[in-house]
Structure 1
Amino acid sequence: MKSKDEEIEEEAVLNQNKSKLEKTISAGIHGGYEFKKGEKNQFLGEFRERIIRVLNFKQIIEPGVYPEVLEAIKDSEAKKLIISRKANLKAAKDYIELANQNNLSFKKVDSPEFKGDIGLAVVSDHAVHHEEIIVIDKEEKFKEIGLPVELLQKAGEKICADCYHKIEENAPEELINFEKMSWIDSLFNSSCVC
């Protein structure tokens, strides 16, 4: 048995030799053919070639901001930030604010046909063909470069000078998520992960 998409594709091929009236009637009956529908369902309703960067649902709720997404938002090709309605919008607040600061439109989307775990996408209004659109998890990144994974829980907080310098040396783009403790902070028993 053929799926509805397969029937629509077959009908679109058969329609090539039909009159305009026959094509219109066929589209009314079958709902018409949507180009790259499966791809669009994977990328929150957008074509893959328009995507600059994406985050999955888990990455959205992690503390701090992914610098790769900030870079994508600041990209001159970026036009909008799209977030799934299934995503935690409270956790995505920082990304929405960054989009607003950089004059990107913001849109929440939902469809029962969306597939996969993509919860956020930075998108252009035309094809940009970025090779790397999927952002590596911070935990995996920190492990690869030898930084303590526990630092990720301190995103948005102050950390000791030693940990700050480790990040500065190994992943300077991540410094947007951390502040260095002053000597006064250390006197008042502010704790770090080390």
Structure 2
Amino acid sequence: MKKNDESKLEKTAREGAFGPTEIKKGEKNRFLGEYQERVIAYLSESQLKEDALYPEIKNALQSAEANKLIIRGDIDKKNISDYIKWAREEGVRFNRKNSPEFRGNVALAVAGKDAVKQQLGQIPERQEKLQKKGISDNIIKNAGSLLCSDCWKELMEKAPEEKINYKKAGIFDKLTGTGCIGCQKK
């Protein structure tokens, strides 16, 4: 017997025992409980565990369609605190979700209330994106480090959105001999 052939009583009994039939359940389990058409952008678990932030998420949170930031519940707070801060600054609500039914590697998603017009999907891996822009591997791998004026200028010309992940060396740094990670091993 097909589902369409079941009587109203059988349907009510089945839904009472197992819950209502859910549309696109597999899709929702891949996107932290959201339909894919509502997801503006998302990051994988490995992207969240990097030392650097993804400025694309900040841009997605600034979108007029952004309604919520969803974070998988098993992600360490130190990896998401800046993203939560961005959501607060933009007035976008956020929540952490746990479910044994979640599948795939989506660990953070920016979603709209309904289907969104602009879907960025998974944000490209940072290292790959910056290598294509010609940023040195020393700079890419050492997010959070100090950069001398020359390396800072290179970063600002090729990937200005990445300034959130680095610090520009000042006079005090030069006086104390703190080296630029970008100039090392060139």
Residues 54-65 of structure 1: pairs in structure 2 closer than 5 A:
54-65=42-53
**Counterpart for residue 40 of structure 2:** 52
Greater CA drift, 181-190 or 98-107: 181-190
Whether contact under 8 Å (1:49, 1:130) holds in the other structure is no
In structure 2, the residue corresponding to 1:86 is in which secondary structure?
coil
Instruction: Give the letter for the 2:20 counterpart.
Output: G
1:80: Cα distance to partner? Answer: 1.0
Whether contact under 8 Å (1:82, 1:122) holds in the other structure is yes
Instruction: Give the letter for the 2:148 counterpart.
Output: C
1:117 maps onto 2:134 in alignment: no
Runs of 4+ in 1 over 4 A off after TM superposition: none
Structure 1: give runs of 5+ residues left out of the alignment: 1-6
Structure 2: give runs of 5+ residues left out of the alignment: none
1:137 maps onto 2:115 in alignment: no
Greater CA drift, 171-180 or 107-116: 171-180
Separation (CA, whole Å) in 1 of partners of 2:37 and 2:139: 34
Post-superposition CA distance 1:39-78 (Å, at most 9, x none): 0000011000110110111111212320100101111111
1:14 maps onto 2:5 in alignment: yes
Post-superposition CA distance 1:149-191 (Å, at most 9, x none): 2223443342111111111111111112222212332221112
1:184 maps onto 2:172 in alignment: yes
Whether contact under 8 Å (1:53, 1:134) holds in the other structure is yes
Structure 1 counterpart of 2:162, from 169, 174, 180: 174
Greater CA drift, 72-81 or 149-158: 149-158
Separation (CA, whole Å) in 1 of partners of 2:34 and 2:55: 22
Separation (CA, whole Å) in 2 of partners of 1:117 and 1:130: 21
Separation (CA, whole Å) in 2 of partners of 1:131 and 1:77: 10
**Counterpart for residue 65 of structure 2:** 77
**Counterpart for residue 126 of structure 1:** 114
Whether contact under 8 Å (2:39, 2:119) holds in the other structure is no
Separation (CA, whole Å) in 1 of partners of 2:159 and 2:73: 31
Separation (CA, whole Å) in 1 of partners of 2:92 and 2:5: 41
**Counterpart for residue 161 of structure 1:** 149
Instruction: Give the letter for the 1:47 counterpart.
Output: Y
In structure 2, the residue corresponding to 1:115 is in which secondary structure?
coil
1:68 maps onto 2:56 in alignment: yes
Greater CA drift, 141-150 or 74-83: 141-150
1:147 maps onto 2:111 in alignment: no
1:146: Cα distance to partner? Answer: 1.5
1:137: Cα distance to partner? Answer: 0.9
Whether contact under 8 Å (1:54, 1:118) holds in the other structure is yes
1:90 maps onto 2:90 in alignment: no
Separation (CA, whole Å) in 1 of partners of 2:5 and 2:14: 10
**Counterpart for residue 4 of structure 1:** none
1:26: Cα distance to partner? Answer: 2.8
Instruction: Give the letter for the 1:31 counterpart.
Output: G
Separation (CA, whole Å) in 2 of partners of 1:69 and 1:119: 13
Mark the CA change 1:14 to 1:192 in structure 2 (over 3 Å): closer, same or farther.
Answer: farther
In structure 1, the residue corresponding to 2:95 is in which secondary structure?
strand
Separation (CA, whole Å) in 2 of partners of 1:49 and 1:129: 9
